[in-house]
Chains A and B, each alone.
Chain A
Amino acid sequence: MNEFLKEQAAWKQLLSENSTRRSYQQALVKADTQFHALLETDVEKGALMAAASQETGKLGGIPFTVKDNIAVNGFQFTCGSKMLEGLISPFTATSVQRLTDAGAVPVAKSNLDEFGMGSSTENSAFSITRNPWNTDMVPGGSSGGAAASVASGMVPFALGSDTGGSVRQPAAFCGVYGLKPTYGRISRYGLAAYASSMESVGILSDDLGLMRSVFQTVQGKDVHDQSSIDCRDYEYENEKPLTIAVFRELEGTEPEIERGYRTAIEAVRSLGWNVKEIQLPSLAFSVPSFYTIAMAEASANLARYTGVRYGYRAEGASNQEEMVRKTREEAFGAEVKLRILLGTYVLRSGFQDQYYLKAQKIRTKIRRELERLFQEVQAVLTPVFPVMPYASGAGLTSMQQKIADRYTITANLTGIPALSFPACVENGLPVGMQLMGPACAEHLLFSAVQKLSDALPAVQLPKVITPQEVLNG
């Protein structure tokens, strides 16, 4: 039995008994006092959901965390916002349902930037999540709680969501793998909407084999999501060398990231694959295009939060309109308000040509440019984020964060899959790179990244929990 199978067997054993589940619950709560990655931890409740399936396959008894903007029946559903404090979800997201049907156990809801808006998990109404590599540092975001829960060993995988890099960037900051799938390949049903046309439920894990099993389990058309798709895997001859597109120059990128990029390119060459240097001129417009569309969609998606039917309701209003205004004033954070305001602005009648429609045109142009590129290459290698994990409270401004999304948002704008992976460790912190592939090329990305990881130096996660240790008390 190899290490991985041993660990899987240990997880299953840990989740199989009342007494060991209690120990696990205690271990999670204790570990989280360091990282503040989890908003609700309830191993027993999750085990009950999974037990209904009687499934003991590959994922049977494997625990996972769910980002708190993804619905799990009976668990809280705050989206990291004061607006939804105390809301208990009355239904379960399709992605979670498919996992519990396969026997996997949702054990906790993980922290996030409010409604997925942010790159540091400092924009949560409830806590600031810490990076397990160094608790002075941010874990990235918005799925920072998910990434920290995997990197610290709390769970072997986590569900997050990726609207503009929100799975891949925290995965990179915490040294784990992060998948943003092809748009629609994993149902969005149960994912609280931020930018509907660009976001996906994504997977974080420290093990590519496990990630692949999870992906296989959750992917595919869902009757509850009309934008979901069944897609035929992108085909590529297994042993044939890949051609990987790389940028000749990286602008405004920290030297550690630059070095990580060169290291990753070297690994590509070492595998005998081809490297093709490219330029993508339209990428210069990707950030404004992405944020225009994302904020426009957000302004509508977040309109439902008014305190009328559920969630926070402001006190002391004398009429309904005032109540809604006060509720939104008091319960939304600054970044959320900024995005709603800008989204409302770009959709105003008479201004759509200038903003929203122009952004959609750029989006189409970028999509075409990438389609042409994928005629010649099988994947594009880029850094995930231009800067290294930074100290909490001393990070990027709201504007800098948006500009820093330039590597990740391309996959969201165009709907293609991207898989981030740890390339190396610099000054005690992981450096993440990503491979983007054509639509439905997840399996190609899994195997390519597996080979790259084998060729790269091993990255040792700062785990504070292992199932064996919990079992052994």
Chain B
Amino acid sequence: MVDVHIGLEIHIQLLTSSKVFCSCPSSFGEEANAHVCPVCLGYPGVLPVLSRGALQLAYRAGLALNCSMAETIALDRKNYFYPDMAKNYQITQFARPIGEHGWMEYDLDDGERKRVRIHDIHLEEDAGKTIHVSDGALLDFNRAGCSLLEIVTEPDLSSGREAERFLQAFRTMVRYLEVCDGNMEEGSLRCDANVSVNHPGKGLGVKVEIKNLNSSRFVRKALDHEARRQERLLKSGREIVSETRLWDEKLGKTVSMRSKEQALDYRYFPEPDVPSFTLDDEFVRETEAAMVELPLSRFDRFVADYRLQREAAEYLTEEKERSEFFEQAVSAGAPAQEAGSWMKGELAKLLSRTGVPLERITPESFAALINACTEERITPPQGKEVLKKMLETGDSPDEIIEREQMEGGVDEENLQALISSILSSYPDVADQIKDGNMKAIGFLMGKIMKESGGAADPRKAKTLLLNTLGISQDTSN
């Protein structure tokens, strides 16, 4: 056995409307170099002006990560040449990051709660993109100068799965905070990692950096692979080289990119164009006022207050809108556990199948649907049908129930006729039940529900069925 130590460096693109040091829009998917100006192209004579919006989002993230927040904002220059970096230095925070010494909690698969310490978070600008073509390279500076927040964790994670779970929890949190859309495919959330292994209790080993982790699944696979690679080296007594490696998804392994000796000297020094300044009270007040309940607290509250299963609570709190929809449905009168299982079950299924957004229905109409079921105005199978139609049409459940004449289900007379007809079709099954094979009841119930088009009330139907067979209720249980 070895100890595995994993730390993450996460970059998130802040959801600001403009770039961090100029007024160019920070939207994506535009034509190359549509959103550029002399400032983000690094023309001679231009100066950066720090966006207050970016600062606010960074500060909000810092508060959520329990960081001790800087009172003074100070920026530094990080010097290195790269063709898609317009100034050939990046404005970042080195000596005095905006937040330090934080932590974030998340739950493992088995529900165990873990804490990852945050070394620091710092604000910086993004670079452009290099697009390699057959006869050279093209540069797109749309992304250059967009605001980034880098979050550096301590090496507190010990497996690929832990890192994946943490990253998912982190993503959920930044989406709650509305500081980042968390889209890893589009690169608005990017993750690098450092991994070291060592003999148990011996502390950190030789650190290897892993880049190119473009999804949380890659994070898990790459880190597990890298940990195993290092473990083999360690056990066979070979040297683990301090280096930067890339995850190659096609090969399913990490490959060496550059060694530590080739590491750059960034020659940091204070950014003279943005003199350090102290945050005013109004800024701090505004930012604190914008704080929201975080997903993990909401999860705990859902489990405690609504007595939800962990899985249901986890599903409901995974997205802020979803959790709010749930609570609004509950305040509109839906029983919490029913609402939870409907959301995690039928609603989730329909949403993912149809691609219709949750906003298509209101929590109030969703609550009305659930109540129609629990009050037995319609049967659960009818309820599913109503929900489907709600998502299709946007109509209220009452409208749909009335239009489809669902209410009242199947009356007793018709139900009795249906049961008799089914029993006559399956006399052998009826005999088995009379002989005491109670499992066969399920088969007949299924037929009844199917034949009634879901309109039969399952409990009534079962009572009638047993009566018809001359079996008392108790023996059937």
A residues lining the B interface (CB < 8 Å): 69-71, 77, 79, 84, 87, 89-91, 93, 188-193, 196-197, 223-227, 296-297, 299-300, 303-306, 308-310, 320-321, 324, 344, 347-349, 352, 356
Contact = CB atoms under 8 A, between A and B. Distances in A.
B265 A90 contact: no
A347 B267 contact: yes
Interface stretch (B79-87, B372-380, B394-402, B432-440): B79-87
Given A303-B89, A344-B267, A227 B45 contact: no
Given A227-B273, A227-B274, A303 B44 contact: no
Contacts, number: 103
A227 B272 contact: yes
Given A90-B38, A226-B273, A303-B79, A309 B44 contact: no
B47 to A, nearest CB: 5
A296 B269 contact: yes
18 contacts: A93-B45, A189-B46, A189-B47, A190-B45, A191-B45, A224-B47, A225-B49, A226-B273, A226-B274, A227-B272, A227-B274, A297-B269, A300-B267, A303-B87, A309-B42, A348-B265, A349-B265, A352-B269
A14 to B, nearest CB: 29
A188 B89 CA distance: 19
A300 B269 CA distance: 10
B446 to A, nearest CB: 69
Contacts of B38: 90-91
Contacts of B139: 308-309
B275 interface: yes
Contact of B269 (A192, A226, A356): A356
Q: Range of interface residues on chain B?
A: 20 to 34
Contacts of B269: 296-297, 300, 347, 352, 356
Contact of B272 (A84, A196, A324): A196
Chain A interface helix/strand/loop/mixed: loop
Contacts of B273: 193, 196, 225-227
Interface string B25-48: 000000000000010011111111
Nearest to B130: A320
B43 A297 contact: no
A227 B77 CA distance: 16
Interface of B: 38, 41-50, 77, 79, 81, 83, 86-89, 137, 139, 265-269, 272-275
A226 B272 contact: no
B133 to A, nearest CB: 13
A224 B79 contact: no
A299 B79 contact: yes
Contacts of B266: 349
Nearest to B75: A226
A312 to B, nearest CB: 13
Contacts of A308: 83, 139
Contact of A309 (B45, B86, B89, B137): B86
**6 shortest interchain CB distances as A-B pairs:** A303-B88, A197-B272, A192-B44, A347-B267, A196-B272, A304-B42
B137 A320 contact: yes
A434 to B, nearest CB: 24
Nearest to A77: B44
A360 to B, nearest CB: 9
A120 B444 CA distance: 104
Contacts of A89: 43, 45
A352 B44 CA distance: 27
A226 B267 contact: no
A315 to B, nearest CB: 15
Contacts of A304: 42, 44, 86-88
A102 to B, nearest CB: 21
A84 B87 contact: no
B44 A223 contact: no
A90 B43 contact: yes
Nearest to A91: B38
Nearest to B42: A304
B109 to A, nearest CB: 42
Nearest to B80: A303
Given A304-B88, A308-B139, A225 B47 contact: yes
A193 B86 contact: no
Contacts of B83: 306, 308, 320, 324
Contacts of A320: 83, 137
A390 B47 CA distance: 36
B237 to A, nearest CB: 33
Nearest to A228: B47
B110 to A, nearest CB: 44
A303 B266 CA distance: 13
Contacts of B42: 304, 309
A349 B263 CA distance: 12
A188 B47 contact: yes
Contacts of A223: 49
B125 to A, nearest CB: 14
Contacts of B88: 300, 303-304, 306
B44 A227 contact: no
Given A226-B50, A303-B88, A324 B81 contact: yes
B47 A226 contact: yes
Nearest to A81: B44
Contacts of A224: 47, 49
Contacts of A225: 47, 49, 273
Given A349-B267, A356-B269, A193 B89 contact: no
Nearest to A189: B47
A227 B137 contact: no
B363 to A, nearest CB: 44
Nearest to B89: A300
Given A91-B38, A308-B139, A300 B48 contact: no
